[in-house]
C-alpha cells in the first residue's frame, strides 16, 4: 500500500467498534426530536384501534371490520408525560421486546470481538493483505461485495446480521483509497436494497404471502428482475461516488510493504472458516424455516467463537484477550441508548392509540384512487409506517390484513401488493433515523447522519422512481 492511501487511524475508520462522538450526538439529537414530535401527536391525534384476532397459526392479525374510535377528552389512552419520559426503558417490557433485547446483546458481543481483533493486529493485517491481493481490481471487488450483501438481504433476510461486517468493509474501503461512505454503501445500503427486492426474503415476502394466503415465495420472477435492476442502479451510484473520492493506489509488493506473517495467516484462516460456517447456516435458513428465528443468535455466536479463536491463534495472551473484549463491550454501550430511544417511538404510538388511527386514515384516502395510484399509495403507506415500525415481519402482521382486502375490492393483484409492501419496508431501513441498525452502522463507520442522508437521499430518489416504475409495469403486465 502506498503511503498516501493508508488509513490514518484504523480504529477511527471502523476496524474497531468505537462509537464516533459526533455521530452519536447528532443521532441522539435527531431521535430525541422525533420522540418529542411523536408525543405531541399522541396529544392531538384522535385515538383509535382495530380489533385483533388470532389466526390458525397463532398469529395476531387485524380485524379490518372492527375500528374503535376514541375521543381526546378524558381519554385514558392519552400517553402520560411520565411514560414518554421513561419510554426508552418501558419499551423493554412491551410486547415484541425480544427483538430489541436480542439486537442489544448481539451488538455487545460483536463490539467485544472486534475490539479484540483490532488490538491483536489481525484486522489491520487482513486489510493490508486484501489491498495487496485485490487492489489492482478494486472495482471488481466492489461489484462482488455489493452483490454479496444484496444477496444476503434478498435471499435470507439479513439486515441487522450484516452489522458485524460493516466495520470491515468500511475499513477496507478506506484502505482501497475510497471513503467510509463508500464502505457503508457497499455493505449496509446493499443489504437494505436486497432486503427490499425480497427475492426469497422470509421476513417480509414469506410472512406477507403467508398472511395473504399465497404460496410461499411465489411470483418470484418480478422480484428477481427488480433485484437485477436495483443492483445495476446501486452499483453505478456507488462507483460514481467512489470515482469522485478515490485516491491513487499503488499495490506493488515493494511499495506496499506487505510481509506475510504465518501466525496471522493461520488466525485469519480459522476466523474465515468459522465465519463461513455461520454464513452457510444463515443461507440454509432460506429452506430450513426453523433456523429463521435464530439467525441473529447464530451470527453472534459464530463471531464470538471465530473471533476468540482467531485472537488466540494470533498470539495474544489470555489476560489481554479478555481485557480487550470487555473494553470493546464498554465502547459499544452508547449504541444501546440509541436503540432504546429509536424503539420508543413505536411504543408511544401504540400506547397513545394513534398507530391504528394513522392506518385507518390512510386506508380511507386510498379508497378513491385509480389502480395505478392505489398501488403507489400502498407503497407510500408502507414507506411511512416503516418510519415507526422497522421490523418487516411486525409490519406485515399490521399492514397485510388491511392491504389485501383493499386490493380485492379495487381489483389489484395481491402479489403486486406484496411487492409494494416489500419495497416500502426495505429501502427506507437505510435512510430513516428510527432504524437502530442504520444508526449503529453509521456510528461504527464514523459517518454522521447528516452526511449519510445527503449522500443516500439521491439514491433513494432515483430508486423511488425505478421501483415505482416496476410496480406500474407489474400492473400493466397483470402480475
- At 159, is the secondary structure helix, strand, or coil? coil
**So what's the pLDDT on residue 471?**
96
Contacts of 107 (CB under 8 A, 6+ apart): 163, 332, 335, 336, 339, 440
User: What one-character-per-residue DSSP string does 325-370 give?
Assistant: HHHHHHHTHHHHHHHHHHHHHHHHHHHTT-HHHHHHHHHHHHTTS-
**So what's the pLDDT on residue 75?**
52
**So what's the pLDDT on residue 255?**
46
First to last CA, the chain: 51
Q: Which residue has the higher pLDDT, 14 or 32?
A: 32
**So what's the pLDDT on residue 4?**
38
**So what's the pLDDT on residue 134?**
81
pLDDT in tens, 129-179: 887 778 788 999 999 999 989 988 898 788 887 888 888 899 889 988 999
- With a cut of 90, say whether residue 418 has pLDDT above it: yes
**So what's the pLDDT on residue 288?**
72
pLDDT in tens, 82-119: 999 999 999 888 876 677 787 788 778 878 888 888 88
CA 315 to chain centre: 35
pLDDT in tens, 44-83: 888 877 777 776 666 666 666 555 555 443 455 578 899 9
What is the mean pLDDT of the segment spanning 342-352?
87
pLDDT more than 70, % of the chain: 87
**So what's the pLDDT on residue 473?**
96
- pTM as predicted: 0.78
Question: In the structure grid, which three cell numbers stand for residue 137, read together?
Answer: 481490481
Question: In the structure grid, which three cell numbers stand for residue 353, read together?
Answer: 392509540
CA atoms lying within 13 Å on the CB side of residue 159: 31
**So what's the pLDDT on residue 67?**
53
pLDDT more than 90, % of the chain: 28
What is the mean pLDDT of the segment spanning 214-225?
89
∠ at Cα 171 (25, 230), nearest 5°? 85
- With a cut of 50, say whether residue 252 has pLDDT above it: no
- With a cut of 60, say whether residue 181 has pLDDT above it: yes
**So what's the pLDDT on residue 249?**
67
- Mean pLDDT taken over the chain: 82
**So what's the pLDDT on residue 443?**
83
**So what's the pLDDT on residue 14?**
39
Question: In the structure grid, which three cell numbers stand for residue 132, read together?
Answer: 495487496
Q: Which residue has the higher pLDDT, 191 or 439?
A: 191
What is the mean pLDDT of the segment spanning 333-358?
85
Question: In the structure grid, which three cell numbers stand for residue 415, read together?
Answer: 402479489
Of all helices (H) and strands (E), which one includes residue 60?
A: strand 60-69
- In angstroms, rounded to a whole number, what is the distance separating the alpha carbons of residues 183 and 178? 8
Task: Centre a 10 Å sphere on the Cβ of residue 78 and count the other Cβ atoms it contains.
Answer: 17
Beta strand pairing call for 48-54 and 60-69: antiparallel
Contacts of 41 (CB under 8 A, 6+ apart): 349, 352, 354
Question: In the structure grid, which three cell numbers stand for residue 15, read together?
Answer: 476496524
Listed range (7-21, 157-171, 352-366) with the worst mean pLDDT? 7-21
Residues paired with residue 177 on neighbouring β-strands, in sequence order:
none
- With a cut of 70, say whether residue 422 has pLDDT above it: yes
Contact (Cβ atoms closer than 8 angstroms) between residue 91 and residue 299 = no
- With a cut of 80, say whether residue 307 has pLDDT above it: yes
CA atoms lying within 13 Å on the CB side of residue 438: 29
Angle, in degrees to the nearest 10, between helices 122-134 and 166-175: 50
Amino acid at each position: 500500500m502506498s503511503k498516501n492511501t493508508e488509513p490514518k487511524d484504523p480504529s477511527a475508520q471502523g476496524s474497531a467498534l468505537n462509537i464516533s462522538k459526533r455521530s452519536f450526538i447528532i443521532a441522539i439529537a435527531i431521535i430525541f426530536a422525533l420522540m418529542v414530535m411523536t408525543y405531541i401527536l399522541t396529544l392531538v391525534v384522535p385515538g383509535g384501534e382495530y380489533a385483533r384476532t388470532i389466526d390458525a397459526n397463532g398469529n395476531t392479525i387485524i380485524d379490518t371490520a372492527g375500528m374503535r374510535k376514541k375521543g381526546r377528552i378524558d381519554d385514558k389512552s392519552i400517553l402520560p408525560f411520565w411514560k414518554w419520559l421513561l419510554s426508552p426503558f418501558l419499551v423493554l417490557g412491551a410486547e415484541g421486546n425480544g427483538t430489541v433485547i436480542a439486537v442489544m446483546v448481539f451488538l455487545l458481543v460483536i463490539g467485544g470481538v472486534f475490539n479484540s481483533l483490532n488490538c491483536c493486529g489481525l484486522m489491520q493485517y487482513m486489510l493490508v493483505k486484501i489491498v495487496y491481493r485485490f487492489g489492482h481490481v478494486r472495482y471488481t471487488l466492489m461489484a462482488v461485495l455489493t452483490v454479496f450483501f444484496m444477496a444476503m438481504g434478498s435471499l435470507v433476510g439479513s439486515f441487522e446480521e450484516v452489522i458485524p461486517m460493516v466495520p470491515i468493509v468500511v475499513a477496507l474501503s478506506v484502505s482501497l483509497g475510497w471513503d467510509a461512505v463508500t464502505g457503508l454503501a457497499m455493505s449496509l445500503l446493499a443489504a437494505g436494497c436486497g432486503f427490499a427486492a425480497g427475492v426469497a426474503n422470509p421476513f417480509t415476502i414469506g410472512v406477507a404471502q403467508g398472511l395473504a394466503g399465497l404460496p410461499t415465495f411465489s411470483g418470484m420472477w418480478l422480484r428477481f428482475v427488480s433485484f437485477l435492476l436495483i443492483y445495476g442502479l446501486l452499483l453505478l451510484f456507488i462507483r460514481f461516488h467512489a470515482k469522485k473520492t478515490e485516491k491513487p493506489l499503488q499495490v506493488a509488493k515493494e511499495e506496499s510493504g506487505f510481509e506475510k506473517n504465518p501466525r496471522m495467516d493461520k488466525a485469519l484462516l480459522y476466523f474465515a472458516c468459522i465465519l463461513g460456517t455461520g454464513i452457510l447456516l444463515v443461507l440454509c435458513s432460506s429452506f430450513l424455516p426453523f433456523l429463521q428465528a435464530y439467525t441473529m443468535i447464530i451470527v453472534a455466536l459464530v463471531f464470538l467463537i471465530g473471533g476468540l479463536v482467531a485472537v488466540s491463534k494470533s498470539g495474544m495472551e489470555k489476560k489481554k484477550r479478555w481485557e480487550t473484549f470487555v473494553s470493546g463491550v464498554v465502547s459499544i454501550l452508547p449504541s444501546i441508548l440509541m436503540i432504546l430511544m429509536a424503539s420508543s417511538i413505536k411504543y408511544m404510538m401504540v400506547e397513545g392509540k394513534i398507530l391504528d388511527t394513522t392506518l385507518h386514515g390512510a386506508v380511507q384516502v386510498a379508497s378513491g384512487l385509480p389502480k395505478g395510484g392505489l398501488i403507489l399509495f400502498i407503497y407510500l403507506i408502507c414507506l411511512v409506517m416503516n418510519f415507526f415500525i422497522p421490523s418487516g415481519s411486525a409490519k406485515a402482521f399490521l399492514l397485510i390484513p388491511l392491504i389485501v382486502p383493499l386490493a380485492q375490492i379495487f381489483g389489484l393483484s395481491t402479489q403486486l401488493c406484496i411487492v409494494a409492501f416489500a419495497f416500502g419496508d426495505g429501502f427506507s431501513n437505510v435512510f430513516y433515523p428510527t432504524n437502530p441498525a442504520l444508526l449503529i452502522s453509521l456510528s461504527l463507520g464514523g459517518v454522521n447522519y447528516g452526511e449519510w442522508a445527503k449522500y443516500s437521499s439521491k439514491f433513494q430518489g432515483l430508486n423511488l422512481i425505478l421501483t415505482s416504475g416496476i410496480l406500474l409495469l407489474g400492473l400493466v403486465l397483470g402480475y
